[in-house]
Structure 1
Amino acid sequence: MSATITVVGLGSGNPDRLTLGIMKTLQRAAKVYVRTLSHPVITALEDLGVKMESFDQAYESHDTFPEVYDYIASALIQTSQTEGDGSEIVYAVPGHPMVAEATVKLLRERCSKQNITLTVLGGESFLDEAFVRLGFDPIEGFQLLDAAELRSSLIQPQLHTLIGQVYDMFTASEVKLALMEIYPDEYEVIVGHALGVEGEESIVRIPLYELDRIEGYGNLSLVYVPRSDDDQLRHRTFARLHEIVGILRSPEGCPWDRDQTHESIRKNLIEETYEVLETIDEDDPEHMQEELGDLLLQILLHAQMEEELGTFTVYDVIQGLNDKLIFRHPHVFGENLAKDAEAALQNWEQMKAEEKRRKGLDPEKASALDGIPRDLPALMKAYKLQKKASKVGFDWDDINGVFQKIEEELAELREAVAEGQSPDEQALELGDLLFAVSNAARFIQADPEEALSRTNRKFVTRFRYIEEQLEAQGKTVHDSTLDEMEVLWQSAKQISSPDGDDKP
């Protein structure tokens, strides 16, 4: 006969709510272990002669709640084994044993492995009192969240939300910050203390921003956030964005959005990407926020078109990306370590090769130039092609070889122009020169696209300076000489910052 641990629930705090079966179990036990004596029922049990030993000291001797719960579960199992077969240990916890009780979860995981019979007797949960005292029906939609693990991504405004284990004002502050990512500062929330306990119950309605400004938080405190059908509360959620795009593409939606295809909005994806890049170059976070939204819309529209065909949804896209990020970062999500960025990049390349093997592809048979998008801007593509080739040894020893190649290609371009070769032939020589020039970028560790973008911005700033100075003189670039503009150009160069960008 194996040893037994019987877990009973002490209810929400009112001793009159304890079941007859639980009372009999507590009274017949030689000794009762309780997680904490900080519960309104304890005094009534002592009056009835129930002998109890608490684990309150564990909270003082351990740094975190998980450590406390692990200690309690281990101690109960050890005591049960010491008592021997046929013995019964009674362990009493606040509320219902299966609601927000980590020690019981640990016991359920461990007892069977130790040949210990675990019996769990119910009890009134704080949820029962919450439904009654706060006056809402969970059938309308309900979620119970732990204050210690609360994240805004878990919150669904269309559901009644109870947040338990709000032990103190610090925890209340963390809850407030998470809620304020979804709800407005003035949104009314309800704080309940010791619900259903005569003489101790307190129910306070306050605006959200005051959540950590009131007193009274303790072991029997919770926060209730009433449900709302206001769509504005969901506007910070990805689910709402997905829903809106679906509506726009529906028969009852926008005729323009409904008529679009992958091909018709293909150029929009490119344009929005460049608009995001412009905000990065301008260091304009507010504008960047808006443009990232426009780019995200393009992604949602393309995904929605495929969802309508039944091929995939945007959530399949997200899952695929999550799986890829975790798989390609074993140094973060696995046991492999990366001491620096170079090692991390090596891990990334190794896992990419492993992905190909899992798809039935042989990385050894693939071209060294595979993986570069066909429609990349030409300068960026040239840089990536050269970088790929260099990894297999097709490269110069140093930058001097690149300089010689640039001079060689420049001479060939001069010759093509001097000989009056066809425009196509001259263009080919120009392409060779640009390709050679972009190769220098790797040796000086510069991105050629970014370098040229900076020069473009510098040119625009200086040319506009010329226009402004001419306007001050009552002239325009159209009625000015090259010499006049050259003087102003040199003046504009004098106010350029050392890094090549212009001062404000």
Structure 2
Amino acid sequence: MARLRGPGGCPWDIEQDHQSIAQCLIDECSELLETIDTLDMDHMREELGDVLLQVVFHAQLAKEEGHFDFEAVAAEVNEKLIRRHPHVFGDVDLEDSDQVLRQWEQIKATEKLDGAKKETVFKDLPPALPSLLFAYDVFKQIKKKALPVGRSVDMEAIEAMASELDEESAGHILFEIAAACRLKGIDPESAARKFARRVMAESEALTNEPKAQGQAG
């Protein structure tokens, strides 16, 4: 991959960035899942390689940007496996897989606290979803928790559209949007994810505004 991205390498590979190849990872994972469903071991080997290639690609991009390299990725997951299996690599005794899972979640929760990650009102949102389901769940969280929405979202327009929508018309609209994106050279997966994240950020900001004003007073 370093050769492909380097001088005299492949023009296509050189032009890519993390976002431009994000869809490739989703595609390759989908193809791998199909081989797992059918236990097609020969093709599973091939598809695992294709998924690994995506990991290598992103790691190479990160290395060029001065963030991390493939060795760091492998080392971190190795350390995580050791840290989360003290019953194998340490002196903890566990009797069954249920206890293992409970311990895993406890260690994971401690890691999050140690990392001092920023609390978010969207903390229950699944971390990795295709962009359409991601946007669906973002809005679901907003409605479920009665969160404010930012200026990027016109709730009246959404409600008016919903009143006229059924499964067929929804599919029709989504297909036309995907087709229009194809004609325009826009990646619909990336576009939907970016906009959903903007909505999340605006909702977060509006949710935290009263707290900030109360502290200031």
Q: Which TM-score bucket, shorter chain as reference? A: 0.5 to 0.7
Aligned position for 1:301: 57
- Is 1:265 matched with 2:3? no
For residues 363-389 of structure 1, the C-alpha deviation after alignment (integer angstroms, 9 at most, x for no partner) is xx666944621534739x97xx9xxxx
Alignment of 1:43-82 (within 5 A): none
SS at match of 2:17: coil
CA distance in 2, matches of 1:341, 1:312: 34
Query: 1, 20, 36: which is aligned to 1:280?
Result: 36
Q: Deviations over 1:214-239 (max 9, x none)?
A: xxxxxxxxxxxxxxxxxxxxxxxxxx
Given residue 378 of structure 1, which amino acid in structure 2 is its aligned partner? L
Count of residues paired in the alignment: 148
Gaps of 5+ in 2: 141-158, 168-217
Residue 374 to residue 277, structure 1, CA distance change in 2 (3 Å): closer
TM-score relative to the length of structure 1 = 0.27
Q: Counterparts in 2 of 1:130-209, with a 5 A limit?
A: none
C-alpha distance in 2, partners of 1:277/1:427? 32
Q: Is the 8 A contact 1:279 1:287 kept in 2?
A: yes
Aligned-residue sequence identity (percent) comes to 43
Pick the aligned partner of 1:425 from 153, 157, 163: 163
Kindly state the Cα deviation for residue 265 of structure 1 after the two structures are TM-superposed.
Answer: 1.1
Q: 2:64 & 2:161 partners in 1: Cα distance?
A: 48
Q: Residue type of the partner of 2:126? A: I
Equivalent-residue separation in structure 1 for 2:25 and 2:51 (angstroms): 7
Residue matched to 1:475: none
Q: Give the match for residue 335 of structure 1.
A: 91
Q: 1:375 aligns with which of 120, 129, 134?
A: 129
TM-fit CA distance, 1:360 = 2.7
Letter in 1 for 2:86: P
Work out the CA distance in 1 between the residues paired with 2:109 and 2:125: 11
**Residues 335/324 of structure 1: CA separation in 2 closer, same or farther (3 Å cut):** same
CA distance in 1, matches of 2:78, 2:12: 32
Residue identity matched to 2:51: L
User: Root-mean-square deviation (CA), in Å?
Assistant: 3.3
| Residues 387-406 of structure 1 aligned to structure 2 (within 5 Å) | none
1:356 partner letter: K
Q: What one-letter code is carried by the residue in structure 1 that aligns with 2:129?
A: D
2:9 is aligned, of 253, 256, 275, to 253
Quote the residue 1:240 is aligned against.
none
1:277 CA displacement: 0.6
Choose which of 71, 80, 85 in structure 2 pairs with 1:315: 71
Secondary structure of residue in 1 paired with 2:19: coil
Give the whole-Å Cα distance in 2 for the aligned partners of 1:295 and 1:374.
Answer: 16
Q: Report the residue type matching 1:262 in the other structure.
A: H
Which structure 1 residue ranges, 5 or more long, are not aligned? 1-244, 386-420, 430-504
The amino acid across from 1:424 in the alignment is A
In the alignment, the residues of structure 1 paired with residue 117 and residue 53 of structure 2 have an alpha-carbon distance, to the nearest angstrom, of: 33
What TM-score does the superposition give when structure 2 sets the normalisation length?
Answer: 0.59
- The residue number in structure 2 matching 1:196 is none
